[in-house]
Structure 1
Amino acid sequence: MPKSTPSAKTPDPKFSTSRFRMWRELAYLDRSVPASHRPATTSWFSLAFPIILSALVSVILNTLVLSVPRTPTTTALGLRLYDESLWRLVEGRVEEALIRQSKDMFGMRDFALAMGGAQVIPSVTTPTSKSGGRPNPPEIALTPGVQPGKCWPTHTGGHLGVALANTIIVSHVTIDCIAAELAINITTAPKDMVLWGLIEDHHAIQRFNSYFPSPLDPPAAILPLISSLQTRTDKTSAKPVFVPLASVHYDPSLMNNVQMFPAHPEVRLLEIPTRVVVLEIQSNWGHEDLTCLYRLRVHGQLIE
């Protein structure tokens, strides 16, 4: 039995002669283009990255918007008022930061600031080093600024005596130094230091002696000051003593070149008031005999 020939199907309009010819030409052109000139195949990451980024931005914005407290006004007016509240919140934070920066980097009063009334005590301050050109006086370490060369040069193991603007209970000490990227010789930066404080209050001396029965040895440079103060005091009163208020380890490799250090917990616990402090520079970062101190700040609670 002869096989029946399949019946002819109605041609699909999309496979018309003109369209078939166009596809054939496009295929030929595609084969004629070198592989190096063809567009690279789009990876899944390049397609998904805009979507992922958009989702992350949406989550962050929603988190910020939702952090604004809801009120009937914001609920009634909708997202536009949320945006305005968010901007007011951001502007307030920026303004607060600018005001704090104009006052002090840490927002704490510096009682060792020369313009605020602090003074250098020459009798317990080591001589200024004459090496390296025209030296600055020690008062430069009590003024703002960390420009290159605007420091007090002294010998390694030097001391800076300061009469603070007021009697305080020391809470923190801050050391300013030029940024390592701008320093001519960062090896002159101070490294290990101790801030000593003079106790003259009778009750504070008794509290200290009961807490520390063994006497502490202050630096030899401040012994003459202690002797002169002890000779002026009444024989019945306690003798003034110098106590270590804070230990400092300055590291110029850190990102922040202005570094704050807390006072010893005993200073706050015993509420030790002091007006006279001495910064003992025990070491630097490698220079043989020169240490440059840019600024010393002393913070604390004011004693009325």
Structure 2
Amino acid sequence: MDYGRRNPGCVPNVFRTFVCIALSLLLGIHVYAYFWGPTQESLDGDFSDIKYVVMQLSRGLTDVNRKHEKLQGEMERMSSALPAVAAAAGRAKEALEPCRRNICRRQISDIFEYDRQMPDYALETAGAKILDTGDTIEHIIYESPVSWALHLLTAMMCRECLGARAMITPSTLPGECWAFKGSRGEATIRLLGTVKITGVSLEHIPAHISPTREISSAPRLCQLEGLEYRSDPYPHDFGSFEYDKEGKAIQFFEVVHPSNKGYNIVKLRILTNWGHPVYTCVYRVRIHGDLVAGQGPKSLDDSGMLIENE
């Protein structure tokens, strides 16, 4: 008896297909989780960090913009105020300029009035003369070997120091002075006659017209002596006095030790200055007193000795 082959039907085929699909899906899920799962988490973390940095940068830029706007506002206010400040400065300068001119005029007027009030017996134009400067070395600003040699030769051949004449001439402009090296110097002056000396005046330019705006080269401690003749070994000491560089340009000093005797030769000694390490400047020296009647300048020979009148 022949039964033939049996047909299994479609149900088992559908089941097997479902199982294969399910297994494929599970395998795909595992493969995706194995290969792409951690990478996605790391990417999510990186994106979070980038987002945080971008937020911080945005906040920083916002603060910078706010400060920039504030600074720009301050600059605009300052710019608007600058014209007013410049105008105020110009008005102040215009107001001070007449005062400055008046001060200069007043100082010039004071100098001329000073010369009108008291006679100066050491004035070269009236007959006074520089006799000697001792061992004082004149200060030369621009020294060269040739000028230095000529200066030494002149000093050996002629005892008169031409530079010292500046302190017995009327002009007292900046630089027109007797400048000598160091802080110690001396000058012997023959007066225009025999004078009973009562005082001495010393003049220096004020600091505000000095090119360096300071006068540390001004003499400080000075001494005045009266001589019978140029090489008198026993001079009369009229005393010492101190010039105040913060005071007036012209300062009068009364002699400390007056003498009833008249002198026609005086020696001015500069003992110290106000701190300049190189040189000292003497602008003007005035000798005051009373001219002794009937006594003119005494005659001196070439050696500086007194010649008795016959």
Scaled by the length of structure 2, the TM-score of the pair is 0.49
- Of structures 1 and 2, the one scoring higher in RCO (CA 8 A, sep 6+) is 1
Computing the radius of gyration from Cα coordinates, the structure with the larger value is 2
